[in-house]
Chains A and B, each alone.
Chain A
Amino acid sequence: MDIEKNKNIIHFLDGNSTKKEWIELQKLLQNADNKKELEEYEGIWNAAEILGSKKNIDASWKKLENNLNTNTYQKRKLSNSPFLKIAAIFIVAFGLGILFNYYTSNYKSLKTALNNTKIQIPLGSKSNITLPDGTKVWLNSGSSIQYSNDFIQNTREVFINGEAFFNVTDNKNVPFIVHTSHINIKVHGTSFNIKSYENENIIETTLIEGLIEITGKNKNSSKSIFLKPEYKASFNKESNKLEIKNIKPEMYLYTSWIDNKFVFNNESLKSLTTRLERWYDLEIEIKNNELFNLRFSGTFTNETAEQAIHALKLSSTFNYSIAKNKVIIY
């Protein structure tokens, strides 16, 4: 072993070569074998440094994560929100004829122009976010929200696909507008739930508190309706009709998901299936059409998908089999 050579290399790696050593090293490097050897040592030297800094970062990150305020940092557990506790009773129905072709095309062009920030929630999970203006948005599984990067400067506009609960920060100067595929919702300081999944025919808007203005995206109809608290507006994409209904006695049905509860009340198996698929990220196939209209009521909180299906089975007559993420009901 060439001690001088090694010493030279070690000094070079440590950044402490003397001028004499440096000149010596240049001579050594003329030899291809020496050059290869030095390169290999340096590779290991640097790789070990990177590895070391990664280990240090990991340790430091863990420390920081623990120190951060757990309330604001960790995924907030969706729990009782005070604004959900509200009451009153009305039943009203409106019809709103809507032709939406024109607005559908508008919606698309606007959508591409605003493709700057998009948040997509995977099936089987839920999340909440805070928009730049402080507005809180809870997103149910399989939903997405999209908004422009200059959000808040001129207008506050977001696009929703799926189900979301909004608690909008009051700012009278900058209107807050929620776009869905078929209707727009202008918000006048409020909390509300919107459910607008692409694969569902009904867009449901449920107002908890405040006031919202719903407008169909129809060139022939500039008509908009104001929704009062504890009302639900259901827009039918096929008939272009908007139906408004008071939902006070069962308001919790529309907002319980943000408390991580899957609540259903006299709901058909067909409708339940769609929701369960999203909630648990499952695929459910019903082999017997007669089962579609079976009705169920209940609440799931911590149940697994299997426990949930089993619970439904117990109160009914069907059989089921589960393989991976696929459930067959027969």
Chain B
Amino acid sequence: MPREDKILIQDIKLADNSAFKELFYKYYTALHTYAIKFVNSSEIAEEIVHDLYTAIWNKKNEIKITTSVKSYLYTSIRNRCISQLRKKKVYFQRIDDDDEYFDESKIIIPVSQENGLSALIASELEDKLMVAIEKLPERCKEIFLLSRFKGLKQKEIAEEMNLSINTVEKQISRALQKLRNALKPYLPIITLFLLKIFIFCTVYKFNIV
């Protein structure tokens, strides 16, 4: 059972490694993405998140969190990013007041963690999906992984691989079709457990049109 944030912090104060790991897994992706917005580099963003977590672990007895744990993590990341930028003497303007990036409601936690989907189903799905991805033709796989694992937009992939956007789109389309065939028996579960995102996107996109 996932623990509540407050409980996680309490357990971390007791030197509970598993609580520390849980807190890391719960927020890593979101904090990493958030940090990238400031420092514009995946590696530096990762370092900043690592530094924060290292500090949390090493100073666990001194930590006093008055806000929610989530706010605490985000604020800490932001402060660390800003001091990182200062160190590098990067010019920035009124970033302290810029709360556009810090909106708790925008933080999306992966569905599988949020609704406590049976770990068994999730891990079986993951295995099947990984096997199917591995079986994709080499270039098709490479492009698909850049899109889904590295989070690159199709345009960015085209630039990085020096391909036309048309080629990238074709390869991704091909990957999706192959995966759909390979995962036929699992599609009902896959759509069931990710439908939430689908609805969210639909509503969201409808509004911006």
Contact = CB atoms under 8 A, between A and B. Distances in A.
Nearest to A44: B179
A14 B61 contact: no
A68 B57 contact: yes
B65 interface: no
A132 B110 CA distance: 32
Given A39-B198, A44-B176, A47-B194, A75 B17 contact: yes
B161 interface: no
Contacts of A41: 176, 180
Nearest to B191: A43
Interface stretch (B72-80, B88-96, B99-107, B145-153): B145-153
Contacts of A67: 50, 54
B207 to A, nearest CB: 11
- Most B CB within 10 A of own CB, among A7, A11, A46: A46
B172 A19 contact: no
- Most B CB within 10 A of own CB, among A44, A60, A61, A68: A44
A219 B15 CA distance: 37
A11 B154 CA distance: 9
Contacts of B155: 16
A56 interface: yes
A239 to B, nearest CB: 36
Contact of A50 (B14, B58, B111): B111
B14 A129 contact: yes
A52 B148 contact: yes
Given A50-B110, A117-B11, 20 more contacts: A39-B191, A39-B195, A40-B180, A41-B176, A41-B180, A42-B191, A44-B129, A46-B194, A48-B129, A49-B148, A49-B151, A51-B130, A56-B32, A61-B21, A61-B24, A67-B54, A73-B57, A119-B14, A128-B15, A132-B61
29 contacts: A6-B169, A9-B176, A10-B154, A10-B173, A10-B176, A12-B205, A40-B187, A41-B176, A42-B197, A44-B176, A44-B179, A44-B180, A46-B197, A47-B125, A47-B194, A48-B133, A49-B148, A51-B129, A51-B148, A52-B151, A54-B126, A56-B149, A57-B24, A60-B32, A61-B25, A67-B50, A68-B57, A119-B14, A134-B61
B71 interface: no
B15 A16 contact: no
Contact of B28 (A61, A73, A119, A129): A61
Contacts of B49: 60
- Most B CB within 10 A of own CB, among A14, A67, A149: A14
B153 A51 contact: no
Contact of B58 (A46, A72, A119, A134): A72
Interface in A47-106: 47-57, 60-61, 63-64, 67-69, 72-73, 75
A52 B154 contact: no
Contacts of B83: none
Nearest to B126: A51
The 4 closest A-B pairs by CB, nearest first: A52-B149, A43-B190, A48-B148, A43-B191
Contacts of B193: 43
Chain B contact residues: over half helix, strand or loop, or mixed?
A: helix
B205 A44 contact: no
Contacts of B179: 44, 48
A149 B10 contact: yes
B112 interface: yes
Contacts of B197: 42, 46
Nearest to B145: A52
A45 interface: yes
A256 interface: no
B13 A132 contact: yes
A54 B209 CA distance: 32
Contacts of A16: 153-155
A13 to B, nearest CB: 8
Contacts of B58: 68-69, 72
A325 interface: no
B13 A17 contact: no
Given A61-B25, A64-B24, A55 B17 contact: no
A45 B130 CA distance: 13
B53 interface: yes
A40 B190 contact: yes
B28 A60 contact: yes
B46 interface: yes
A68 B166 CA distance: 45
